[in-house]
């Protein structure tokens, strides 16, 4: 079978091997593919693997040989799954490969904000602040413990649950907005309505999928409910947060800080208000990208292709 990888660089910038995939067929790998290049590159392929290159309804008539699309990520909203199904194209994704890495990124942001790690490292390296200190310890900002703080988790799937377990380890009070019943939750996690999470929690961590009901979930009205020392962490999807409303809340001191790993447009446009917002700490969508997570991604990707070729597809989303 002919296999085409449209945008392999993000998942494998060169530190992993494609050999296991190449052993399965005639394999062509592109680092990146622009939208206008997609049809020519995918033409004639039985199997196409994509991370962020979109497949719209009108594309399927132009790719009559296509039988399988493997999304090299958990989210698969880049594919018109109904159109794929109507053309007999199987679509798969890669679930849960980055669960622990994303949960770790949540706490990397939280600890940076609460312990001001970036602030002090920068002052010491660039301003000799500790060298010039009159005391053995240099302190010019408040620092806070996580113990006893309330964390609200929006969405208690794999990543939300992993985040909750870490929070429990820190001795935090954990609350969740989830479709699960309270009887399905561990005793350390209390179910709470969404507005109450905004009102009561010191930290709000977003782990929900992007749907019409979650787009702009964090908006001016919700931000007005929050404590002035509250922190928002978003490692889910950029459009879950209204960027301008969050920037306004940060710049006005309405809330204390935000840790953001995802934005509405990626890479962001230069005018994104969060890029210059006060106390907004942004990482470039790397929560998923630890070496270990990418190894799992590649392993599951190959297994998805093998299963399809054996006539027993797994992780099918359409």
Helices (H), 191-234: 194-200, 220-224
Strand ordering across the sheet containing 173-177: 189-191, 173-177, 150-154, 203-206, 231-234, 257-260, 280-282
Asked whether 156 and 164 are in contact (CB, 8 A), the reply is yes
How buried is 98 (Cβ within 10 angstroms: 0-12 exposed, 13-18 middle, 19+ buried)? buried
Residues 3, 44: Cα–Cα separation, whole Å: 9
Of 237, 264, 294, 296, which is the active-site residue?
237
Neighbours of 27 (CB within 10 A): 19
Residue 207 annotated as catalytic: no
Asked whether 277 and 251 are in contact (CB, 8 A), the reply is yes
Q: Which DSSP letter does residue 236 get?
A: S
Residue 144 annotated as catalytic: no
Of 182, 188, 193, 266, which is the active-site residue?
266
Of 109, 116, 285, 296, which is the active-site residue?
285
Residue 285 annotated as catalytic: yes
Q: List % helix, strand, coil for the chain (3-state, nearest 5).
A: 35, 15, 50
Catalytic residues: 237, 266, 285
């Amino acid at each position: 079978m002919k296999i085409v990888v449209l945008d392999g660089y993000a998942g494998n910038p060169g530190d992993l091997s494609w050999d296991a995939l190449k052993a399965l067929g005639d394999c062509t790998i592109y680092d990146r593919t622009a939208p206008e290049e997609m049809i020519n590159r995918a033409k004639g392929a039985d199997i196409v693997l994509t991370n962020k290159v979109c497949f719209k309804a009108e594309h399927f008539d132009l790719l009559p040989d296509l039988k399988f699309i493997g999304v090299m990520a958990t989210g698969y909203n880049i594919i018109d799954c109904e159109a794929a199904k109507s053309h007999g194209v199987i679509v798969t994704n890669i679930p849960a490969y980055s669960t622990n890495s994303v949960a770790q990124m949540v706490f990397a942001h939280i600890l940076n904000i609460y312990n001001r790690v970036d602030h002090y490292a920068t002052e010491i390296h660039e301003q000799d602040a500790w060298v010039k200190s009159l005391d053995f310890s240099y302190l010019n900002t408040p620092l806070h413990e996580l113990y006893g703080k309330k964390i609200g988790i929006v969405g208690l799937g794999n990543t939300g649950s992993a985040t909750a377990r870490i929070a429990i380890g820190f001795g935090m009070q954990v609350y969740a907005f989830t479709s699960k019943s309270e009887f399905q939750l561990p005793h350390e996690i209390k179910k709470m309505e969404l507005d109450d999470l905004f009102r009561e929690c010191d930290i709000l961590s977003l782990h929900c999928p992007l749907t019409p009901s979650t787009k702009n979930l964090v908006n001016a009205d919700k931000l007005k409910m929050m404590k002035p020392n509250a922190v928002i962490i978003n490692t889910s999807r950029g459009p879950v947060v209204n960027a301008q409303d969050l920037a306004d809340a940060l710049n006005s001191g309405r809330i204390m800080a935000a840790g953001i790993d995802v934005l509405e447009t990626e890479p962001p446009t230069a005018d994104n208000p969060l890029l210059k917002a006060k106390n907004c700490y942004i990482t470039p969508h790397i929560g998923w990208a630890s070496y270990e997570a990418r190894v799992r991604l590649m392993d599951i990707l190959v297994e998805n292709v093998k299963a399809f070729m054996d006539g027993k597809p797994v992780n099918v989303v359409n």
